[in-house]
Structure 1
Amino acid sequence: MNDKTLKGAIAGAVAGLVGVSQVAAQEDIAAAGNGGTADASANGGAVATGDINSGGNVGTAIGVGDTYGSVAVDGGAIANATSLDVSVDGGTAIADASGGDYNIAFVS
C-alpha cells in the first residue's frame, strides 16, 4: 500500500466517522424550559353579611283614640318574607408554566 492510498483510506474513514456523528446528533433533541406543571384556581373566598333588617320586626301599628260604646280593632294578618342570594364567584384563573431563564438541558 503506497502513501497516497493510505492517506486516502484514512481520510475516507475520518469522513465516515464525522458523517455518522452528524447523523447521530440530528436524532437527539434537547429541550430546556418547557414549563412543567401550572396550577391555577379561582376560588371565590368567603362572604360575610352584617345584620339584615327585614321589616324592622314591626307588625301593624294601630292607634285608637277616645271611644264611646263597643270598639273592635283588627290588625289583620302580617307576613314578611326575606330572600337572600349570596354568591362568591371565582372569576378568572390564569396559570403560566413558562420555562424561564437559565435552564439546563441534557441529552441522553
Structure 2
Amino acid sequence: MSRFDPDGLKDAATLTPEKRLWCAVLFRIFQDACRKLPESADNAVKIECDQARSWLLSGQDMRIVCELAGFDPDAVRESARRMEQAGWPVIKLDVSEKTEAAPLAA
C-alpha cells in the first residue's frame, strides 16, 4: 500500500475499477473536508464538511476504505492531520487530464 497522494489519482487508468471507485470515495471525502465555506453556508453544508473531517481523523471505517483504495490508512490519517493543521486547504483536481476508463467485460 502507498501513502495518500491526491495527485496520484490522475493515473487512475492503471487501477482496477474497484480501486478507482474507492480512490474516488476517498478523494471526495478529502474534497468535502477541505471545502471553503462562505459565511452564508447553510448548516447542512457545514455539518457535511465537519463529518468528512471527523471521518478522516477518527472514522472507524476509514481504514477499510483506504485499504480497498490501496492506501496505507495510517498515512492517510497523517495526511488528514497535516491538512487540519494547515487549515484544510482546498484540493483541486485537474480535470483537464482525463483518463479513459477500461472497457467493462461483457
TM-score (norm 1): 0.20
More helix by share: 2
